[in-house]
Structure 1
């Protein structure tokens, strides 16, 4: 097994199994991949197998099963291409299958979804809109993926919000998903925030006066940028594993991550990519973030140091709560039950008036870290605005 395959398995295993790939499938599929050159092909073949089950279910009128199979196929195709930037042709083919599978799954999900295309700077952005059962308009969570994630990956997170009565709008922004080929990754998301705000306002079943923004990984940087740009138009914001300044960690990032940012930022080489990464900086925007902010971070994050969460907490203008999970990895995918329900309840409290969750730390084992008081009881890590 070559180093890139080992790196992908080590960094992203829990993320795959939390977002739609079974643990048994992940172990079986990755055990058969020895060279990175084979990654996309093998995962695409698995995606095709699930897609075949979905198409067969559709033909037989088993629509619910069809939606489940096709959504799972989309996840497999997505993970075939997610950082496979060394072979753009193969990557784009896998991506096309992911988009097609999710698009065909949407009417058959519970609740169903629909595509929303948003004109932006001579091109367009694509979002998936899902609305909970019951009479609307519904409060809405704008969901933002990261550097290598996309809307096809976030279905399981959407469900936690939908189950609590909140609609979701999951957006591929510049440099992400369907927009990654025409629109490069960018640090300034104020223009994206405005077009998303306008687009949500065109949907009669969405209540943009009750709007939250959620983002994971680099999306955990974008979400505060959107909330800062929209000011008091945003009711709440969640940053999951978001960097304070992405470029400051350039030298410690995995090679696959650096290569992905280079391609999706349109950079010609590693040094230009590093400079672009330094533009992903919250230093100035944080002072304009007035909405209540929940920061979720893992102390064992190997991509972004947990100290970035503390920097974000201390820099923003509004009220902020930090949930720092002692055993959490990047994105806290390995401890999802310890934060996903709490995050959804925290947003429901702000958008729906639901009961307020007590934000407490989840610690296994003692720590000798001199800043351990940050995780002792995170109600004490809440800063009032």
Structure 2
């Protein structure tokens, strides 16, 4: 993986996220260059000076790119404005990723990021709708990306991971799914994005519940084929998607974009200093995601998040993709998931090798390689068109 910060995996991972999702390299360098002197602190426990430095530098670039977009909009150049807004939104969300959730500036950056990203989608005339998925007394914010086909199209429900949002997902995969004739419903489910930040909904083991709500919503749409719905999720989604497919039988396929067989083991290892953290202040972050006050309480929740006794209930095709050099989640999680999913017809384990690329966590070192493979596979399983439409 290209490591802008050789001694800071967490920051380098965020740089690759920007590069894989349309960030402009000179703007990324502008945000990162002032940070080299403070980049050497290991991110596990969180260093407030370091976190503030990242936040302020990325916010500065995001605000400048947004300003340039507004100049384009005033000049009645909406496509140019929209492209800048999409990048600005990405940069705001990457700035927001690093500080403690207790920092009030974080919520402001998040709101600015999703607002300007949404404005960019509209000005670029992307075929999207901003929708809400009814979920008990709440409504989960989502982006519906419509495939350019007549009639009812197949659709993939896409969940997030531990620390990303629907906008980050959209920037990575939506266009490739559309090109293959597959619509996409990207949901901020409990524990992530707006569901966590604006609705206060924590995550938990039973992700089949928001997944079922997502299918319920899709069944109300006249442009979705209810018999061709799949589910996909990345990172912690390597637990979320297989769990949902095991108990929600309306899914016709499932993709684990990075495997997690035993999340309790992952969290225990991370807290113990084994493996790299995806965000700084890891313990505080997982407490927030799972609605707990202490790491001990969080461990009680996440130790329930295992695919042992669950994966064998998956009866639709399952694709597991995992990098052999994943420094967050060891490869055995993917191998155990595959071995346990004995009732999944045509189950597949795709290991991305260092020799080819996409070998880091969720293919962070080469996003297009892993996205191509997953979207081709899903299109084949759901009756889309991997050759393109």
Normalised TM-score (structure 1): 0.85
Work out the CA distance in 2 between the residues paired with 1:194 and 1:295: 21
Work out the CA distance in 2 between the residues paired with 1:13 and 1:355: 30
1:164 to 165, 175, 180: 180
Work out the CA distance in 2 between the residues paired with 1:321 and 1:164: 20
Structure-2 change in CA distance of 1:203 and 1:51 (3 Å): farther
2:196 to 180, 187, 199: 180
1:318 to 332, 339, 344: 344
Does 2:114 correspond to 1:99? Answer: yes
Does 2:317 correspond to 1:286? Answer: no
1:77 corresponding residue in structure 2: 92
Contact 2:89 2:116 in 1 (8 A): yes
Work out the CA distance in 2 between the residues paired with 1:137 and 1:61: 35
Structure-2 change in CA distance of 1:64 and 1:11 (3 Å): closer
Contact 1:83 1:257 in 2 (8 A): no
RMSD: 2.2
Gaps of 5+ in 2: 39-49, 271-276
2:41 corresponding residue in structure 1: none
Contact 1:140 1:211 in 2 (8 A): yes
Q: Deviations over 1:260-279 (max 9, x none)?
A: 11112111122222222222
Structure-2 change in CA distance of 1:276 and 1:308 (3 Å): same
1:381 corresponding residue in structure 2: none
Q: Deviations over 1:185-227 (max 9, x none)?
A: 1111121122101111222222232111111101222111222
Contact 1:106 1:114 in 2 (8 A): no
Aligned length: 353
Q: Classify the secondary structure of the residue corresponding to 1:235.
A: coil
How big is the shift at 1:51? 1.9
Contact 1:227 1:289 in 2 (8 A): yes
Structure-2 change in CA distance of 1:153 and 1:306 (3 Å): same
1:346 corresponding residue in structure 2: 377
2:159 corresponding residue in structure 1: 144
Work out the CA distance in 2 between the residues paired with 1:20 and 1:280: 33
Which protein, 1 or 2, shows the higher relative CO under an 8 Å CA cutoff with sep ≥ 6?
2
Q: Classify the secondary structure of the residue corresponding to 2:326.
A: coil
Gaps of 5+ in 1: 357-385
Contact 1:220 1:242 in 2 (8 A): yes
Work out the CA distance in 1 between the residues paired with 2:98 and 2:269: 17
2:254 to 209, 214, 237: 237
2:147 to 132, 138, 145: 132
1:214 to 232, 238, 241: 232
Q: Deviations over 1:29-60 (max 9, x none)?
A: 12212322222222222222222233333333
Work out the CA distance in 2 between the residues paired with 1:136 and 1:243: 36
How big is the shift at 1:112? 2.2
Contact 1:224 1:289 in 2 (8 A): yes
Structure-2 change in CA distance of 1:267 and 1:347 (3 Å): same
Work out the CA distance in 1 between the residues paired with 2:266 and 2:217: 34
How big is the shift at 1:102? 2.2
Work out the CA distance in 1 between the residues paired with 2:234 and 2:52: 27
Contact 1:252 1:303 in 2 (8 A): no
Q: Deviations over 1:232-286 (max 9, x none)?
A: x212111111311112022432253333111121111222222222222222321
Structure-2 change in CA distance of 1:58 and 1:220 (3 Å): farther
Contact 2:238 2:259 in 1 (8 A): yes
Does 2:267 correspond to 1:250? Answer: yes
Does 2:243 correspond to 1:225? Answer: yes
Contact 1:111 1:133 in 2 (8 A): no
Contact 2:239 2:261 in 1 (8 A): yes
Structure-2 change in CA distance of 1:62 and 1:202 (3 Å): farther
Contact 1:40 1:90 in 2 (8 A): no
2:293 corresponding residue in structure 1: 268
2:126 corresponding residue in structure 1: 111
Contact 2:338 2:349 in 1 (8 A): yes
Contact 2:242 2:311 in 1 (8 A): yes
